[in-house]
Amino acid sequence: MTAVAVKYDEIKALGCEVLSVSTDSRFTHKIWQNEELGKMVEGGVPYPMLSDAGGAIGSIYGVYEPAAGVNIRGRFLIDPEGVIRAMEVMTPEVGRNVAELIRQVQAFQHVEKTGEVTPAGWTPGKKTLTPGFDLAGEVWKVWKPEEAFK
């Protein structure tokens, strides 16, 4: 949450909004902001922290764990039409990568704007592919897996 908070202005500049949803109450969120998050990021987390008491929202997104009464940590990229374009659900031991979140937003926006597709590891300025009959079975001629890591 705090890593996203640090990059919040960059995420907002991409035209995105961030919401945090947990089964914690708004009172727990307030205490957490004051006692933990606000000490990690000046002013605390700048985006809304929503309470999902009972797990209704988490159930819709498939992350609510009824036996524990909590939402498993997840990240969802939802486009302006309300379509989930990407999701990542992880247990708490491993943190998420905010740089990857930003890269994915940029890739989805590029695809939407140009109609091109972005191969593995794509970042702005790197090679894209133009889908079509000419490309079917011929990707190997124009893109190599090593390019994902450059």
**pLDDT digit string, tens, across residues 73-113:** 999 999 999 999 999 999 889 999 999 999 999 999 999 99
Full residue range of the structural domain in which residue 79 is found: 2-97
108-142 pLDDT, tens digit per residue, is: 999 999 999 999 999 999 999 999 998 989 999 99
Average pLDDT over residues 34-39: 94
Q: Closest Cα partner for 148 from 128, 131, 130?
A: 128
Residue 14: per-residue pLDDT? 98
Is 16 contained in some domain?
A: yes
Average pLDDT over all residues of the chain: 95
pTM value?
Answer: 0.91
- Which residue do the tokens 């990857």 mark? 100
Please indicate, yes or no, if residue 50 is contained in any of the structural domains. Answer: yes
Residue 144 in any domain: the answer is: no
**CATH code where residue 75 lies:** 3.40.30.10
Partnered with residue 18 across adjacent β-strands are none
Q: Given the structure tokens 């004051």, which residue do they identify?
A: 34
Q: Please state the domain count of the chain.
A: 1
Question: Could you tell me if residue 113 is inside a domain?
Answer: no
